[in-house]
Structure 1
Amino acid sequence: MDLRLDGVGTRLGGRWVVDGVDATPPPGHFTGLLGPNGAGKSTLLRLVAGLLEPERGAVLVGTAPEKPVPVASLGRRERARRIALLEQESSSTVPLTVREVVALGRIPYRTLWGADPGDDAVDRALAAADATHLADRAWATLSGGERQRVHVARALAQEPELLLLDEPTNHLDVSAQLQLLAFVRDLGTTTVAALHDLNLAAAFCEHVLVLSQGRLAAAGHPREVLRPALLREVYGVEADVLEHPRTGRPVIAFHEPAPVRAGVTAGEP
């Protein structure tokens, strides 16, 4: 799916939390959405998903050769079939099995009689998320990492053309993080994921968008974008950017902050 952000902006509590963002993530690739806390990442994902409507600008989507249209113009059912959003705080207190939770992703496809013409999509999604062995477990018995896998499976069960993920590696150990992001990278689906770990973004994303105070600070391949000057400007940290000996991808080595002497303001000699 083609995605274009055309001067997108919106306010929350009277403040512009997303402010004039112009971007075109490459279709069929994995884009990382980066930035410090409060930069507007989650809000931007909700705008792309159509859960919020921009106060200015537009989020445009389309699959060639169709002409891109504003997300807001899509009907709710069509939008749910084409766009899947995995938010940070996805929870359920209803007593469901894992298979039933994943099957919630098939709701947009159900007929008036409740039938789903693609029931095997649930099995495919469970397998893709390496969660088949959890299918008959009760949701309430899962660990945080297991729940995250199931939420990913539910999003995949929608068979979306555009996959949006908000901190998908939360609660996952290192091995599970690497497996999940490698899987997302290899999907061939247009994907935008908010990530905090810059080294994971550098390792797996083909494109990154860096937000700072709601505005787009940089966009491009991680090798071009994740440079010491940008890290200093956006994150307020000093770092060296090295090259991974096997992949050639950027590896960010952060500096420990200099100790502040009593009575001396940080940054003073």
Structure 2
Amino acid sequence: MELTIAGAGTRLGGRWVVDGVDATPPAGALTGLLGPNGAGKTTLLRLVAGLLAPEAGAVLVSDPAAADPAPTLPVHTMPRRVRARHVALLEQSSDAAVPLSVREVVALGRIPYRSLWGADPDAGAVDRALGAASAEHLADRAWSTLSGGERQRVHVARALAQEPSLLLLDEPTNHLDVSAQLALLGFVRDLGVTTVAALHDLNLAAAYCEHVLVLSGGRLAAAGPPADVLTPALVREVYGVDAHVLTHPMTGRPVIAYSPTGTVDV
């Protein structure tokens, strides 16, 4: 699915939290959405998911029902059931206890496909999603017994059960150990699905994302390949810290080494 963010903006509490963002994440690739706390990342994801209607500009996606070349339409105008079949948003996970098994939680992602009688036309979809997220061993566990990392993996499986053509992830590596973080982002990168993931770790973004968008104060500060965007000047301007950008000896991708003195004078 092709995604175009065209001057999108919205206010919360009378303040513009996303303000005139223009971006075109590459189709079929992983885009990292970066920026400090309060930069507007979660709000932008909710605009892209169609959960919020922009007060300015538009968020456009290619019409999933049209043949190529597909026209674009505002994502928030899509019928909810249609949108849920094509756009999946994994929000920051909640610790709320629910009396469900893991399989039942993942099956919630199949609601847009169920008939009026509750039948899912694809009986194997839940198992495929669990397997894709390496969570099949958790299928019969009670949701309430899972660790934070296990819950995050199940959330990913639920999103995959929707079989989305646009996948949106809000801090998907929260609660995961290093090995699980690397495995998850490697998996998402290789899906071939247009994906936008809000990330805090610049090095994870540099290692796994084809494209990055950097927000600062609700505005787009920079966009492009990580090697072009994640410069010492950008890190200093947006995050207020000094950094050196090195080259990974195996991948050739950028590695950000932060100054041990921390915050710089601005």
TM (normalized to structure 2)? 0.96
**In the alignment, structure 1 residue 73 sits paired with structure 2 residue 77:** yes
The 3-state SS of whatever aligns with 2:122 is coil
The residue type paired with residue 224 of structure 1 is D
Q: Deviations over 1:24-45 (max 9, x none)?
A: 0000000000000000000000
Query: Paired residue for 1:112?
Result: 116
Query: Paired residue for 1:155?
Result: 159
CA contact (8 A) 2:109 2:158 kept: yes
1:168 to 153, 169, 172: 172
Identical positions, percent: 76
Query: Paired residue for 1:242?
Result: 246
Equivalent runs, 1:33-182 vs 2, <5 Å: 33-62=33-62, 64-182=68-186
CA contact (8 A) 1:90 1:151 kept: no
Figure out how many residues of one structure are paired with residues of the other and give that number.
262
The 3-state SS of whatever aligns with 1:94 is coil
The 3-state SS of whatever aligns with 1:257 is strand
Query: Paired residue for 1:224?
Result: 228
Instruction: Please report how far the alpha carbon of residue 118 of structure 1 lies from its aligned counterpart in structure 2 after TM superposition.
Output: 1.3
Query: Paired residue for 2:257?
Result: 253
Distance 2:235 2:153 in 1: 30
CA contact (8 A) 2:214 2:220 kept: yes
CA contact (8 A) 2:241 2:262 kept: no
CA contact (8 A) 1:9 1:21 kept: yes
Instruction: Please report how far the alpha carbon of residue 91 of structure 1 lies from its aligned counterpart in structure 2 after TM superposition.
Output: 4.6
Gaps of 5+ in 2: none
Instruction: Please report how far the alpha carbon of residue 257 of structure 1 lies from its aligned counterpart in structure 2 after TM superposition.
Output: 1.8
The 3-state SS of whatever aligns with 2:172 is coil
Distance 1:197 1:209 in 2: 13
CA contact (8 A) 2:49 2:76 kept: no
The residue type paired with residue 235 of structure 1 is Y
Query: Paired residue for 2:212?
Result: 208
The 3-state SS of whatever aligns with 1:84 is strand
Instruction: Please report how far the alpha carbon of residue 93 of structure 1 lies from its aligned counterpart in structure 2 after TM superposition.
Output: 2.6
Distance 2:69 2:78 in 1: 17
TM (normalized to structure 1)? 0.95
Gaps of 5+ in 1: 260-265
The residue type paired with residue 51 of structure 2 is L
CA contact (8 A) 1:99 1:136 kept: yes
Query: Paired residue for 2:8?
Result: 8
The 3-state SS of whatever aligns with 2:25 is coil
The residue type paired with residue 86 of structure 2 is R
The 3-state SS of whatever aligns with 2:116 is coil
Higher alpha-carbon Rg: 1
The 3-state SS of whatever aligns with 1:100 is helix
The residue type paired with residue 30 of structure 1 is L
The residue type paired with residue 224 of structure 2 is G
Instruction: Please report how far the alpha carbon of residue 173 of structure 1 lies from its aligned counterpart in structure 2 after TM superposition.
Output: 0.2
Equivalent runs, 1:15-26 vs 2, <5 Å: 15-26=15-26
Instruction: Please report how far the alpha carbon of residue 258 of structure 1 lies from its aligned counterpart in structure 2 after TM superposition.
Output: 6.5
Distance 1:31 1:210 in 2: 10
Deviates more, 1:59-68 or 1:242-251: 59-68
2:203 to 193, 199, 202: 199
